[in-house]
Structure 1
Amino acid sequence: MGVRHRFFFQLKDEEAVRTFTKQAEVPVFAVSLGAVESILSYPKAMSHASMPKDEREKRGITDGLLRLSVGLEHPEDLIKDFQQALKSLQPQHLFLEGRIRSEVKG
């Protein structure tokens, strides 16, 4: 049995997403690979790229949504990395909201 944590967080727009993902160094920026590394993905351009914008937005998949699947890195490494990546954003591009989901797989 294992625990998997996924975090969804919202930045203002696609420009903020590009800036943040260029600065984040710990997570791999990719579609989920089922690996042990933390994976940062951008549903708008990855998993839901073929879905029309209005349908994506009805489902909460906005231009600023990022998804983090937490891997085996030390939590403090991710926290420090995200802090430095957030510092690269302009104030108008900071968080609007966040959601956390934990799943236990057995």
Structure 2
Amino acid sequence: MPKRILVGTVTSDKMNKSVTVKVERKVKHPLYGKIIRRSKKYHAHDEENAHKVGDTVRIEETKPISKTKTWKVLDTLQAGKGVAVDADIEVEAAAGSNT
């Protein structure tokens, strides 16, 4: 039987060697016919602690690793936008005092 592969977004990376991945799917409401979003969170194994919050990743179903972990991260599809940018405070302070 083939292993399931899902695509989701990392919502938490606070655990050691684990991430929480939120997978969203769209379904049609049975009575009203409107398309609605349903989501589920999975705990996935991340051996190198390489994935951060906001990353879009692919996860694959595996044998149980722990009580709640039965998925592992395959790869990153898109990096999150949480990139830190250093501000040059000295230049901003000098520019403000000249005016």
Q: TM-score range by the shorter chain?
A: under 0.3
Higher relative contact order (CA 8 A, sep 6+): 1
More helix by share: 1
Larger Rg: 2
- Under a length normalisation based on structure 2, what TM-score does the superposition of the two structures give? 0.21
More strand by share: 2
- Under a length normalisation based on structure 1, what TM-score does the superposition of the two structures give? 0.21
